[in-house]
Amino acid sequence: MALDQEALGALRIGNREQAPPRGWLRRRWPYLAVTLAVVLVGALLLRPKPLTVETVTAGAPSATGTTTVLNASGYVVARRIATVASKVTGRLIENNVQEGAVVHAGDVLARLDPSTVRAAYEVAARARDAASRSLREVEVRRAEAERTLTRQRGLAANHLVAQSQLDTAEADFNALGARLEQVRAELAVADAGVRQRQQDLDDLVIRAPFNGVAISKDAQPGEMVSPISAGGGFTRTGIATIVDMDSRELEVDVNEAFIQRVHDGQLVEAALDAYPDAVLAAHVINIVPTADRQKATIKVRIAIDHLESRILPDMGVKVSFLEVAAAGVQAVAVVPSGTVVAQGEARYVWVVADGRLRHQPVRVAPTPGDQVLVLEGLKPGERIVARPQASLRDGQAVIAKGG
């Protein structure tokens, strides 16, 4: 039986003439690679970027049961500091001050040229000696006049001398008495003149007014010094600057919006910028009752409980004003109040770990100020979002920035 060739041709699978020619994939490969690269780049660009968030580190609660209610910065100041100057104008011939040296009240710091004042003192001393000799002479003459008057009175009583001789003796005696008072007054003036010149000599010796440390030497021997400015000349107005190191304290400017968190006697923790790891115990002395209208701040004076030699005037310092926590409160961490989010009665923070956000419920204790005591749910050292936003989601990828 003959086969139907046309029917058999219709039963073939596919059509060889429609198959792609050899080398097609090789010719199309560059286009496919470009298309694939475009797709990958587009996917990377369209993928959501991690959110950058500012973080803070949860701190450990204070062992003293206190919490920070306000942070501020200021400087170390000395309440007793003086630029020592002379009372008179003169040429400096000696300056014993050395920067950093300890001085005591009454120590001689410097001396001025005494040649002119010493000459004036010699003149006054000689004038006093002359007045003293005149006094002795008048006293001798008056004693003689007194004896003469006594004899004349005896003779006049017996009518042996004329009344005129008695009157003359009395006049001489009274005149010498007046002269004696005059000479005594002149001697007193001479004594005062000597004391004045002696004081002038003493004024040429500059002494330390109190115990302290010399922090600067402001004049050198040979220079002119004066208690007042010389109007742009080369005259110095100070010999040295002395600081009473026992009068050191802290001076802090507090924003007037937060001054209600500060009160007299309040506990303070301070850390010098030069030694940030060394915490100094301190307390508030006084809130100065005036405000700076330009800076909107109020000055607060703080006493350091234990003064140390490394605490130097004009050093920068960071301070934390403290409040005693409520009785029975056992905190596990301390965080800024702005990091805690309230959701009804619940409280939570956003913890950043391994580049992801974690919704972390916490239990907190109500405290004054800008710090919150965390009683449960957080550990010191964990990083949390400083200013949480409503759009944050659990597990969201973030880039942490800050502490």
Amino acid making up residue 42: G
Residue 225 lies in a domain: yes
Say if CB 235 and CB 163 are below 8 A apart. Answer: no
Are 299 and 180 part of one and the same domain? no
**DSSP E strand stretches across 316-394:** 316-324, 333-336, 341-343, 346-353, 356-365, 371-376, 383-385
Residue 17 lies in a domain: no
CATH at residue 275: 2.40.30.170
Residue 104 lies in a domain: yes
Count of beta carbons in the 10 Å neighbourhood of residue 184: 14
Range of the domain at 210: 82-112+205-243
Contacts of 308 (CB under 8 A, 6+ apart): 280
Query: Cα(85)–Cα(93) distance, rounded to whole angstroms?
Result: 14
Count of beta carbons in the 10 Å neighbourhood of residue 164: 8
CATH at residue 89: 2.40.50.100
Residue 121 is given by DSSP the state: H
Beta bridge partners of 76: 250
Are 96 and 218 part of one and the same domain? yes
Say if CB 303 and CB 247 are below 8 A apart. Answer: no
Are 360 and 308 part of one and the same domain? no
Predicted pLDDT of residue 1: 45
Question: 292-314 in b/e burial notation, b at 16+ Cβ within 10 A?
Answer: eeeeebbbbbbebeeeeeebbbe
Last residue of a domain, one of 271, 295, 324: 324
Amino acid making up residue 151: R
Residue 142 lies in a domain: yes
Helices 163-203/115-157 angle, 10° precision: 160
Query: Cα(335)–Cα(369) distance, rounded to whole angstroms?
Result: 11
**Global pTM value:** 0.57
pLDDT by 10s per residue, the chain, length 403: 455 555 555 555 555 555 555 555 566 666 666 677 766 665 555 555 678 888 888 887 765 566 778 899 999 999 999 999 988 889 999 999 999 899 999 999 999 999 999 999 999 999 999 999 989 988 898 898 889 888 888 888 888 888 888 888 889 888 988 988 999 999 999 999 999 999 999 999 999 999 999 999 989 999 998 888 655 567 788 899 999 999 999 999 999 999 998 998 888 999 999 999 888 989 999 999 999 999 999 999 999 998 888 999 999 999 999 876 654 567 788 888 888 998 888 899 999 988 889 999 998 876 656 677 888 889 888 999 988 888 888 888 888 887 6
Residue 163 lies in a domain: yes
Residue 1 lies in a domain: no
Are 369 and 386 part of one and the same domain? yes
Are 344 and 379 part of one and the same domain? yes
Are 296 and 308 part of one and the same domain? yes
Query: Cα(270)–Cα(70) distance, rounded to whole angstroms?
Result: 12
Are 100 and 137 part of one and the same domain? no
Checking 167-175 for CB contacts under 8 A at 24+ apart, the result is: 169/145, 172/145, 172/148, 173/142, 173/145, 173/146, 173/148, 173/149
Our count of domains for the chain comes to 4
Ramachandran bin of 369, using left for φ above 0, alpha for ψ from -120 to 50, beta for the remaining angles: left
Are 90 and 125 part of one and the same domain? no
Residue 253 lies in a domain: yes
Place of tokens 């490394």: 310
Are 126 and 138 part of one and the same domain? yes
Say if CB 310 and CB 270 are below 8 A apart. Answer: no
**DSSP E strand stretches across 113-233:** 205-207, 212-217, 224-225
Output the six-digit token pair for 225: 């010094």
Are 122 and 136 part of one and the same domain? yes
Last residue of a domain, one of 221, 243, 265: 243
Are 160 and 150 part of one and the same domain? yes
Query: Cα(76)–Cα(23) distance, rounded to whole angstroms?
Result: 85
Predicted pLDDT of residue 345: 84
Q: What is the largest CA-CA distance in the chain?
A: 217
Say if CB 394 and CB 348 are below 8 A apart. Answer: no
Contacts of 233 (CB under 8 A, 6+ apart): none
Last residue of a domain, one of 324, 355, 381: 324
Are 389 and 367 part of one and the same domain? yes
Residue 97 lies in a domain: yes
Output the six-digit token pair for 221: 């021997």
Say if CB 48 and CB 391 are below 8 A apart. Answer: no
